[in-house]
């Protein structure tokens, strides 16, 4: 298996996954460098033959027998899980039409207690097509590895790192592989078919979100009786450098995982051929996106709360800066041979990721622009490209909120930590006072004995010693109380600052990343009316969105879509407000923007009167209705209803009735669409024969009630 043994020979490499297998081999070797000497010691214990641990000493060797059994049981469990994941992935890939040639051979497992070993190419098949299935082996490892926590954490880090290192290479992000289960979708598909296709993915995502967590850090506390006969964790002397490497490795993993899950989401979203399936992809990814952001933020904040991390915090930040200046690859020599060593820093991991901050570097902007051009804006179906963009903007909006929520959760933890630290400081002060008072009391008790013997010179000396104890103790206690108050103030300030920053971020950054992405899409589209077309897409979406699942997206549209004109803002706000009550601060339109919109309406009416003078003042006299064309526009009729009414003659003052020319009717309908983008007033009578004249199709009583 790639996790536990050397790679297979080159002759055994399947053509399909030759390059991928080499990449995973390299990642596995790099992982050992990060995992450090303790992990390798445990690995040596696991692989050693019975009674073959002389390097540990007789007493410790005997203690390690149970540990070795646990290590081997964990190995068999993970091996068996890998075989199951490989078989299920291979079966799924083999069932699609036109499966890729050169798939690795099938693997059977007659005895789960003695599973066969897989090679790097087998791992590559899982990671290339169903990476979450590989990542979810970590839950199996964590459940089975209790009692050998350090080694289990190391094994999990290796599993995760292999996936992250593999996808640090942008060439491995292949939509046709990762979205292979979309390949056989027919052009006409039912929602139930989409649900069935995505059910396995949802299961994997839910399992991942439920099990993904921070790694432990530091060394177990040493007991006084600990010695060579105790467990390896307690006797192994861990260098500070190794602790710093472990912390940096954890940081790379947690940041890399947040980037990986987001890019995996984008890849599947772009690979989904049907707009109705895109919403489902966004929904099923939401728990995983929230979890990776939460863990990333908790890790970053743990340097303010975990004692083991606090103790090495200054050295770690120096180490972090040093690592980030390393080249992407360096030449190293081992046993007289030269090898290329890849330095998987945050900078390397970021090269293949899609940043979600609002201020992109040129490289990050170019990365997004390429994705939008090749994966979103391609094809002739505008509904599909606008729906993908809608999902991306909506998810970026939620991602910002996930980060805010994560920081607010950290604020709770930090407040609890602060209270505990203050309570601990108060306890230390009380203990110090008690020690001082006990020492003083013992001195005074001794003085009383000498006083009864009338040895007053000794009494004076002892009483002076008691006074000195009290003076020194009081000075120390006062210093402790002063330090405690300063620490209390610092902790409270840090808590309040983080809470304020989280709330400020919610107001300041909500939608900022989405606005940057939309601007890049608008530039990449090379379409003059791109924004206007997207606005029309959103208005149609509002009309179709029965459950208002995009409500938060609608409410933040003015932040997500930059440079909206006053008219577009009014259109969008009226569309959304027709479906739900908006608060004053939701989708706000300023007085100046409202006036600009009114001015545009007036300008269109002026242009209409210039082209067809008097049209708006002409009267519509039919049945019980007697009104002007201008008032008809104010009634908020649907386009179909207004078009039907405008087929009837209208009267200019002192002139017989005449029909409005078709080109003028068209302009009136455009004006009506501008004034009422989400009109719902329909005056068409049902069940009327199509051959009947227009007036037979109109409900004049309803029209009369709608007129202003």
Q: What is the pLDDT of residues 575-630, one digit of tens each?
A: 898 889 998 889 999 999 989 888 988 999 999 989 999 999 999 998 889 999 99
CA 115 – CA 118 distance, rounded (Å) = 9
Nearest to 74 by CA among 46, 38, 116: 46
The model's pLDDT over 358-384, given as tens digits with 9 standing for 90+, comes to 678 899 999 999 999 999 998 778 888
Query: How far, in Å, are 10, 12, 104 from residue 118 at the CA level?
Result: 15, 12, 11
Asked if residue 632 lies in contact with residue 706, where contact means CB atoms within 8 angstroms, the answer is: no
Q: What is the pLDDT of residues 436-483, one digit of tens each?
A: 888 888 888 888 877 777 777 787 888 888 888 888 888 888 888 887
pLDDT of residue 524: 92
- Plot region of 564 (φ>0 → left; ψ -120 to 50 → alpha; else → beta): beta
| pLDDT exceeds cutoff 70 at 1 | no
| Structure-derived torsion over alpha carbons of residues 505, 260, 313, 33, reported in degrees to the nearest 10 | -170
Helix (H) or strand (E) holding 56: none
Look at residues 354, 325, 342 and name the one whose alpha carbon lies nearest to residue 165.
342
User: What is the arithmetic mean of pLDDT over 492-520?
Assistant: 75
The C-alpha atoms of residue 140 and residue 461 are separated, in whole angstroms, by 70
Find all residues with CB under 8 Å of 165, minimum gap 6, and list them: 23, 26, 27, 30, 31, 342, 344
Average pLDDT, the chain: 85
243 closest CA partner among 312, 183, 302: 312
**3-class state of residue 455 by DSSP:** coil
Greatest CA separation for the chain: 137
Spell out the residues 6+ positions from residue 511 whose beta carbon is closer than 8 angstroms to its own: 396, 397, 400, 556, 559, 560
Find where tokens 């006409």 sit.
Answer: 188
Q: What percent of the chain has pLDDT over 90?
A: 40
d(CA 45, CA 56): 9
Burial of 426 from C-beta contacts in 10 A (0-12 / 13-18 / 19+)? middle
Residue 534 in tokens: 């997207």
Q: Are 639 and 673 in contact (CB under 8 A)?
A: yes
pLDDT at residue 261, as a whole number: 97
Q: How far apart are CA 43 and CA 285, in angstroms?
A: 36
Gap between the Cα atoms of 620 and 645, Å rounded: 9
How does pLDDT run across 72-109, given as a tens digit for each residue? 899 999 999 999 999 999 999 998 888 888 888 899 99
For residues 681-692, b (16+ Cβ closer than 10 Å) or e, as one string? eebeeeeeeeee
Can you give the residue ranges of every domain in the chain? 1-178, 190-216+238-353, 416-508, 527-589, 607-706
Q: Which single residue is written with the structure tokens 């772009």?
A: 270
Question: What separation in angstroms does the CA of 624 have from each of 109, 621, 627, 680, 700?
Answer: 84, 8, 10, 22, 7
Separation CA 470–CA 298 (nearest Å): 45
First to last CA, the chain: 78
Q: How far apart are alpha carbons 198 and 179 in whole angstroms? A: 10
pTM of the model: 0.82
**Exposed, middle or buried by CB within 10 Å (0-12, 13-18, 19+), for 315?**
middle
**Residue 491, CB half-sphere, CA atoms under 13 Å: how many?**
21
CA distance 665 to 471: 99
Q: Which of 124, 138, 158 is nearest to 24 (CA)?
A: 124
H/E stretch holding 620: strand 619-622
- Please give the C-alpha separations between residue 562 and each of 215, 363, 535, in angstroms, as whole numbers: 40, 22, 12
Query: Residue 252: what pLDDT?
Result: 96
Is the distance from CB of 299 to CB of 257 less than 8 angstroms? no
pLDDT over threshold 80, residue 408: no
Q: pLDDT class for 346, splitting at 50, 70, 90?
A: very high
Task: State mean pLDDT over 411-435.
Answer: 80
CB 606 within 8 A of CB 594: no
Task: Identify which has the larger pLDDT, 460 or 205.
Answer: 205
- Model confidence at 64: pLDDT above 80: no
Return the residue matching tokens 């037979």.
Answer: 696
CA 242 – CA 217 distance, rounded (Å): 11
Backbone angles phi, psi at 623, to 5 degrees: 55, -125
| Structure tokens belonging to residue 31 | 């992982």
Give me the torsion for CA of 579, 580, 583, 587, rounded to 10°. Answer: -40
Three-state SS letters, 248-267: HHHHHHHHHHHHHHHHHHHH
3-state secondary structure 358-424: CCCCHHHHHHHHHHHHHHHCCCCCHHHHHHHHHHHHHHHHHHHHHHHHHHHHHHHHHHHHHHHHHHH
Is 229 a residue whose pLDDT tops 50? Answer: no
Task: Show the tokens assigned to 305.
Answer: 């709360």
Instruction: Give pLDDT, residue 51.
Output: 61
pLDDT band at 239; cut points 50, 70, 90: confident
* The residue to which tokens 């929904």 are assigned: 283
Collapse the DSSP code of 342 into the 3-class scheme (helix H, G, I; strand E, B; otherwise coil) and give the result.
Answer: strand
pLDDT, one tens digit per residue, over 43-59 is 877 777 666 555 454 55
d(CA 177, CA 93): 9
Angle at the Cα of 335 from the Cα atoms of 331 and 340, rounded to 5 degrees: 20
What residue has token string 């067809």?
612
Average pLDDT rounded to a whole number, residues 174-196:
87
- Distance between CA atoms of residues 97 and 288, nearest Å: 30
Q: Is residue 8's pLDDT more than 60?
A: no
Q: Specify the higher pLDDT residue, 672 or 68.
A: 672
Residues β-bridged to residue 628: 619
Structure tokens at 585: 């601060």
Three-class SS of residue 47?
helix
Of 413, 407, 409, 402, nearest in space to 502 by CA: 407
Structure tokens at 355: 């940043």
CA 404 to centroid of chain Cα atoms? 11
Give CA 426 to chain center in angstroms: 40
Whether 334 has a pLDDT exceeding 90, the answer reads: no
DSSP state of 619: E
């Amino acid at each position: 298996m790639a996790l536990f043994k050397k790679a297979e020979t080159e002759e055994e490499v399947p053509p399909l996954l030759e390059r991928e297998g080499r990449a995973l081999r390299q990642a596995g070797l790099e992982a050992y460098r990060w995992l450090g000497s303790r992990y390798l010691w445990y690995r040596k214990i696991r692989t050693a033959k019975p009674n073959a641990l002389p390097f540990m000493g007789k007493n410790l060797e005997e203690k390690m027998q149970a540990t070795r059994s646990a290590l081997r049981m964990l190995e068999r469990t993970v091996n068996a899980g890998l075989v199951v994941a490989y078989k299920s992935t291979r079966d799924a890939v083999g069932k699609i039409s036109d499966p890729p040639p050169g798939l690795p051979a099938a693997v059977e497992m007659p005895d789960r207690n003695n599973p066969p070993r897989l090679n790097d190419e087998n791992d590559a098949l899982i990671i290339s097509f169903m990476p979450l299935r590989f990542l979810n082996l970590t839950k199996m490892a964590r459940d089975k590895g209790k009692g050998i926590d350090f080694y289990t954490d190391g094994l999990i880090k290796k599993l995760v790192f292999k996936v992250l290192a593999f996808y640090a290479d942008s060439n491995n992000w292949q939509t046709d592989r990762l979205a292979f289960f979309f390949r056989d979708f027919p052009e006409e598909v039912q929602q139930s078919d989409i649900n069935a296709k995505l059910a396995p993915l949802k299961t994997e995502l839910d399992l991942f979100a439920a099990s993904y967590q921070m790694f432990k850090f530091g060394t177990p506390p040493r007991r006084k009786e600990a010695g060579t006969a105790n467990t390896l964790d307690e006797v192994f002397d861990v260098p500070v450098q190794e602790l710093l490497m472990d912390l940096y490795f954890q940081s790379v993993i947690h940041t890399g995982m947040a980037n990986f899950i987001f890019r995996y989401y984008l890849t599947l979203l772009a690979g989904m051929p049907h707009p109705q399936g895109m919403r489902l992809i966004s929904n099923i990814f939401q728990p995983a996106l929230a979890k990776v952001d939460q863990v990333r933020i908790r890790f970053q904040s743990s340097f303010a709360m975990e004692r083991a991390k606090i103790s090495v915090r200054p050295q770690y930040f120096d180490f972090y800066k040093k690592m980030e200046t390393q080249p992407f690859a360096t030449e190293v020599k081992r046993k007289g041979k030269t090898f290329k060593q890849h330095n998987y820093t945050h900078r390397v991991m970021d090269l293949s990721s899609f940043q979600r901050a609002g201020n992109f570097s040129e490289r990050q902007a170019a990365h997004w622009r390429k994705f939008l051009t090749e994966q979103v804006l391609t094809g002739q179906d505008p509904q599909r490209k606008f729906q993908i963009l809608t999902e991306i903007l909506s998810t970026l909006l939620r991602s910002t909120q996930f980060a805010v929520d994560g920081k607010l959760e950290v604020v709770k933890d930090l407040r609890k930590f602060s209270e505990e630290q203050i309570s601990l400081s108060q306890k230390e002060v009380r203990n110090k006072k008690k020690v001082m008072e006990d020492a003083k009391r013992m001195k005074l008790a001794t003085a009383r004995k000498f006083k009864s013997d009338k040895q007053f010179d000794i009494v004076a000396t002892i009483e002076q010693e008691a006074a000195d104890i009290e003076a020194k103790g009081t000075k120390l206690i006062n210093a402790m109380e002063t330090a405690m108050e300063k620490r209390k103030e610092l902790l409270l300030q840090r808590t309040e600052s983080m809470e304020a920053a989280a709330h400020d971020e919610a107001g300041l950054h909500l939608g900022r990343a989405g606005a940057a992405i939309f601007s890049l899409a608008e530039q990449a589209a090379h379409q003059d009316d791109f924004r206007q077309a997207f606005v029309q897409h959103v208005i149609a979406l509002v009309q179709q969105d029965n459950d208002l699942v995009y409500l938060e997206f609608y409410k933040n549209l003015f932040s997500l879509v930059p440079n909206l004109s006053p008219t577009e803002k009014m259109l969008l706000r009226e569309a959304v407000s027709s479906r739900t009550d908006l608060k004053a601060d939701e989708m706000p339109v300023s007085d100046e923007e409202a006036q600009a919109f009114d001015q545009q309406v007036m300008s269109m009416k002026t242009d209409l009167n210039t082209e067809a003078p008097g049209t708006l003042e002409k009267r519509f006299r039919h049945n019980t209705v007697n009104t002007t064309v201008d008032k008809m526009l104010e009634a908020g009729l649907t386009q179909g209803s207004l078009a039907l009414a405008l087929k009837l003659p209208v009267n200019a003052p002192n002139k017989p009735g005449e029909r409005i020319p078709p080109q003028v009717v068209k302009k009136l309908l455009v004006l009506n669409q501008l004034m009422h983008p989400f009109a719902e007033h329909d005056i068409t009578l049902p069940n009327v024969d199509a051959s009947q004249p227009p007036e037979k199709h109109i409900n004049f009583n309803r029209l009369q009630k709608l007129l202003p």
